[in-house]
Chains A and B, each alone.
Chain A
Amino acid sequence: MELTETKQVQSDFPGEIHPTAGGGIIVSSFDGLINWARSNSLWPLTFATSCCGIEMMSTASAKYDFSRFGFEVTRATPRQADVIIIAGTIVNKMGPVLKRLYDQMADPKYVIAMGACAISGGPFFYNTYSVVKGADHIIPVDVYIPGCPPRPEALLHALISLQEKIKSGLTREQIREGSNV
């Protein structure tokens, strides 16, 4: 396809068009399609260390029901999971295990830090010798949910935020630099 032709279809074509030679149109519109598909079928790992896990179960139950957003296929093995919701405190002994779980997940993989403990250590920030002060010391985190424990609505909001983040197709670095999501 010639570059001149891409300029002609630009007005009514929904995808992004890059001025690169050959197949630019198809690649970029597939990206959008793939991101859309990925964002709507995220399979979470059943990973809960403490209290936040109970609120995660509440979110899975009939009243809140996160299957409305495509999250109901909770997987017990990291090899089949797309997103890991760190629900609870991570202590020093658990740190290597969390890292290994993350490494075992297939790309693309996403991380949600649920609750104050996973963000910063939370109520266990001071005076303890065994708590990791934030799960992002071990693995990169995409979405943080504050609360101790966060409400199920907060978890739903985080899941929707993650979907939007995936749909935007930006990397963590691009978002950090201030691009619009």
Chain B
Amino acid sequence: MYTQTEVIKDTTTAKGAENELVINMGPQHPATHGVLHLVVTLDGETVKKIEPHLGYIHRSIEKMTESLTYRQFTYVTSRMDYLSAHINNLACAMTVEKAMQIEVPERARVIRVLMNELTRIASHELWIGAMAMDLGAFTPFFYAFREREMITEIMEDSCGARLTMNYMVPGGVMHDIHPDFQKKVKAFVQQFKDKVTEYEDLVTNNVIFQSRTKGVGYLSKEDAISYGCSGPVARASGVSCDIRKIYPYEVYDKVEFDEVLDTAGDSFARYIVRIKEMNQSIRIIEQLIDTIPEGDFQAKTKAVLKPPKGEFYTRVETARGELGVYLVSEGGTTPYRIKYRSPGFSNLSALDHMARGGKIGDLMATMGTLDLVIPDIDR
């Protein structure tokens, strides 16, 4: 364990070469988006090495789930990657459904996909605001939150909560959607289409933004694969890894959407991929919003869920990449072991490689476009 006193000793004695300087970024730092601790070795302004130190928000979620029942354990995962709370819940619910072979009604499947895509947009909206703030622009934050608030209101109507929704349960969704759901989603889609050009004017075509992100934090296709990157980070390097396309779940095989790919591999490419992904999410929502089938929103399940003995694995595409849930069941009412394969952890592992040789100012751009959520990494 790397304690605080050791870190301070490092800075004063400056191990290694004479010109090297070791500085600590975090755990309290506005650009680390939480409590990530980076030990950065510098030669002048050039980054020589980055050592991430984790565990400042390790809440032992995996161990906790071993003592929670199959109905309870989905709720804790909302707090894991809280920006993709719906998608985390869905991954857990799908694992239980897969183990118990529960048939989910069509209506629930469509609602799930709609909620997932709304979550994805909300997550990317927040990311635009936070990343622009890291790069010194404050206005995009307000623009992005204007649309994001509309989504949180839609979530609140149907799910009862703004952020940690706990809406996906094994067998379907917890309640039926709010009567105003379709109307509000359509209003949001319209607003988003009108306003997305503002982001283009404000951020994408901004000369300062472009010169700070183009060519910064390059990640090649081979490296993206070998570091296990997923989501927009890998897709910006040209790796086709969208779980919605490769292993379609729910109704993703019935809707039309493109997997957004870019080959530049730099911070700007990661930005463009996320912007285009939001447009694809809007496309999916538009296809489904008018044709939500009638029927039950939840399959009839037993009060106490007891999956059979065995090992089960499910993967979904969160806003950050591939989330895998590995469940070992002993046939009891609680899981024997649960392992989450979180996208943020693998994406963070590539940070050292991406930032090495760059300037420390560029580290902000690189880290900002990785879109890290620290509780997702530490769990």
Give B68 Cβ to nearest chain A Cβ, in Å: 7
**Is A93's CB under 8 angstroms from B56's CB?**
yes
**Is A91's CB under 8 angstroms from B142's CB?**
no
A100-B4, A123-B79 known; A50-B145 Cβ under 8 A: no
- Is the CB of B332 closer than 8 A to any CB of chain A? no
The segment from B25-33, B174-182, B243-251, B358-366 found at the interface with A is B25-33
**Is A58's CB under 8 angstroms from B375's CB?**
no
The segment from A30-38, A128-136, A171-179 found at the interface with B is A128-136
A96-B4, A148-B164 known; A51-B63 Cβ under 8 A: no
**Is B63's CB under 8 angstroms from A89's CB?**
no
Interface residue count on the B side (C-beta < 8 Å): 40
Alpha-carbon separation in the docked complex, A20 to B75 (Å) = 60
Give A64 Cβ to nearest chain B Cβ, in Å: 9
- Is the CB of A44 closer than 8 A to any CB of chain B? no
A54-B126, A88-B57 known; A49-B76 Cβ under 8 A: no
List residues of chain B with CB within 8 A of the CB of A97: 4, 27-28, 35, 56
Q: Which of A43-64 contact B (CB under 8 A)?
A: 45-51, 53-55, 57-58, 61-63
A50-B82, A58-B149, A62-B146 known; A91-B162 Cβ under 8 A: no
Q: Which of A8-48 contact B (CB under 8 A)?
A: 45-48
Instruction: For B375, give its contact among A51, A62, A123 (CB under 8 Å).
Output: A51
List residues of chain B with CB within 8 A of the CB of A62: 142, 145-146
Q: Which of A97-121 contact B (CB under 8 A)?
A: 97, 100-101
- Is the CB of B34 closer than 8 A to any CB of chain A? yes
Instruction: For A51, give its contact among B75, B79, B130, B146 (CB under 8 Å).
Output: B79
Q: Which of A113-168 contact B (CB under 8 A)?
A: 123-124, 126-131, 148-149, 151
Instruction: For B34, give its contact among A49, A58, A76, A129 (CB under 8 Å).
Output: A49
Alpha-carbon separation in the docked complex, A55 to B82 (Å) = 11
Q: Which of B351-379 contact A (CB under 8 A)?
A: 374-375
**Is B145's CB under 8 angstroms from A61's CB?**
yes
From B27, B63, B75, B83, name the one whose CB has the most chain A CB atoms within 10 angstroms.
Answer: B27
Interface size bracket, A side: 35 or more
- Is the CB of A94 closer than 8 A to any CB of chain B? yes
In the complex formed, the residue of A with least CB distance to B2 is A93
**Is A61's CB under 8 angstroms from B149's CB?**
yes
Alpha-carbon separation in the docked complex, A51 to B83 (Å) = 8
- Is the CB of B58 closer than 8 A to any CB of chain A? yes
**Is A131's CB under 8 angstroms from B145's CB?**
no
Alpha-carbon separation in the docked complex, A130 to B76 (Å) = 15
In the complex formed, the residue of A with least CB distance to B141 is A61
Instruction: For B162, give its contact among A53, A123, A151 (CB under 8 Å).
Output: A151
- Is the CB of B202 closer than 8 A to any CB of chain A? no
List residues of chain A with CB within 8 A of the CB of B4: 96-97, 100
Alpha-carbon separation in the docked complex, A55 to B35 (Å) = 17
- Is the CB of B67 closer than 8 A to any CB of chain A? yes
A49-B57, A50-B82, A58-B149 known; A127-B27 Cβ under 8 A: no
List residues of chain A with CB within 8 A of the CB of B60: 124, 128-131
Alpha-carbon separation in the docked complex, A169 to B82 (Å) = 38
Alpha-carbon separation in the docked complex, A58 to B66 (Å) = 33
**Is A128's CB under 8 angstroms from B64's CB?**
yes
List residues of chain B with CB within 8 A of the CB of A46: 30
Instruction: For B59, give its contact among A45, A54, A128 (CB under 8 Å).
Output: A128
- Is the CB of B152 closer than 8 A to any CB of chain A? yes
- Is the CB of B225 closer than 8 A to any CB of chain A? no
From A49, A93, A124, name the one whose CB has the most chain B CB atoms within 10 angstroms.
Answer: A93
Alpha-carbon separation in the docked complex, A45 to B35 (Å) = 14
Alpha-carbon separation in the docked complex, A61 to B56 (Å) = 27
**Is A129's CB under 8 angstroms from B63's CB?**
yes
**Is B64's CB under 8 angstroms from A127's CB?**
yes
Give B140 Cβ to nearest chain A Cβ, in Å: 11
- Is the CB of B305 closer than 8 A to any CB of chain A? no
Q: Which of B38-75 contact A (CB under 8 A)?
A: 55-60, 63-64, 66-68, 75
Alpha-carbon separation in the docked complex, A48 to B34 (Å) = 6
List residues of chain A with CB within 8 A of the CB of B66: 127
- Is the CB of B14 closer than 8 A to any CB of chain A? no
**Is B142's CB under 8 angstroms from A61's CB?**
yes
List residues of chain A with CB within 8 A of the CB of B1: 93
List residues of chain B with CB within 8 A of the CB of A55: 162-163
Give B3 Cβ to nearest chain A Cβ, in Å: 8
**Is A127's CB under 8 angstroms from B57's CB?**
no
List residues of chain A with CB within 8 A of the CB of B164: 51, 148-149
* Sample (27) of A-B pairs whose CB atoms are under 8 Å apart: A45-B28, A49-B35, A49-B57, A49-B375, A51-B79, A53-B34, A54-B82, A54-B163, A57-B129, A58-B145, A58-B148, A58-B162, A61-B149, A63-B146, A63-B149, A78-B28, A89-B79, A89-B375, A93-B55, A97-B27, A101-B28, A123-B76, A123-B79, A124-B59, A124-B64, A127-B66, A127-B68
* Cβ-closest 5 pairs across A and B: A61-B145, A51-B82, A76-B30, A127-B67, A128-B60
